[in-house]
Amino acid sequence: MDSLIVHELAPDVRARIVRPMPALPPALDAIVERLWQQAAARMARGQAGRLFNGRVFSADAITATLITGHLTEYRRVVAQYEQPALFAELGLRPLAVCGVLRCAGGVVFGRRHVDAIYQAGMWQLPPAGSVDASSVGSDGGVDLGHQIGVELQEELGLPPEAIAPPRPLCLVEHPGTHVSDLGLALVTPKTGGAVLAAHRLSGNSEYDPLRIVSLTELPDFVARLGDTLVGSAALFLRSAGLLRA
């Protein structure tokens, strides 16, 4: 937890594309492709889903009010996951939106698939996912609210209109992977039972199990998870006022 880098955010924080994706030298591109194929094969064997080489946002600079960066291939991000030393050459800081979803029954937690490409088998706060090209406007602006809505629909089966407008919490950068998690407080009037039912009916298989943790149970639950809880999660819960330091 101490090694995490925390960036405070303004309520109106924005993100923007400011430069094109750089080309890779052929030798480096070959390494990226080899690592990408290895990761894809491992996921397929574990039935954890299929990898798609879309474009995702990588942060170049982070301030309280503005996150600037560029779109990069997801295969480059995966290669850096697989071989963190490649950060020296790739320099990627993938930006992810991470919801702290509070429903009428408590806070939503989920355990990631044991063969997931990133943070396999760990507990986290869904919905969460990389910021991708679908949330980038023609002017280069990034709609973070749209991205968390996409993740909400895909992962939990809940439509974006099921939540109030997201509230930025803080941004947590993981030094090992350089993933930058942007926490967003989410609130829905739905009951915990309704959230679980939506997940069973329309959500994907990224989390098994999905659990609703009451506010009274929350401190003990987080303590029991220990190192199996994604490091940024406790920081987001504290920033949202749901967990004491």
Q: Read off the pLDDT of each residue in 174-187 and give the average, rounded to a whole number.
A: 95
Report residue 47 as tokens: 């039935």
User: Going by DSSP bridges, is the β-strand pair 5-8/167-173 parallel, antiparallel, or unpaired?
Assistant: antiparallel
pLDDT digits (tens, 9 = 90+) for 121-173: 999 999 999 999 999 999 999 999 999 999 999 999 999 999 999 999 999 99
pLDDT digits (tens, 9 = 90+) for 95-135: 999 999 999 999 999 999 887 878 889 999 999 999 999 99
Assess whether pLDDT exceeds 80 at residue 223.
yes
Assess whether pLDDT exceeds 70 at residue 13.
yes
Residue 188: name the closest of 129, 106, 92 by CA: 106
Q: Which element (helix H / strand E) includes 69?
A: strand 66-73
- Give pLDDT, residue 2: 52
Q: Which element (helix H / strand E) includes 107?
A: strand 106-112
What's the rounded Cα separation, in Å, for the pair 66 and 180?
14
Residue 166: name the closest of 231, 101, 108, 105 by CA: 101
What is the fold, at CATH topology level, of the domain defined by 5-239? Answer: Nucleoside Triphosphate Pyrophosphohydrolase (3.90.79)
pTM over 0.85: yes
Q: What is the largest CA-CA distance in the chain?
A: 55
Count other Cβ atoms within 10 Å, centred on residue 165. 9
User: What residue spans define the domains of the chain?
Assistant: 5-239
Higher pLDDT, 223 or 47: 223
Please give the share of the chain, as a percent, with pLDDT higher than 90.
87
Average pLDDT, the chain: 95
What's the rounded Cα separation, in Å, for the pair 5 and 100?
19
> Beta partners for 14?
66
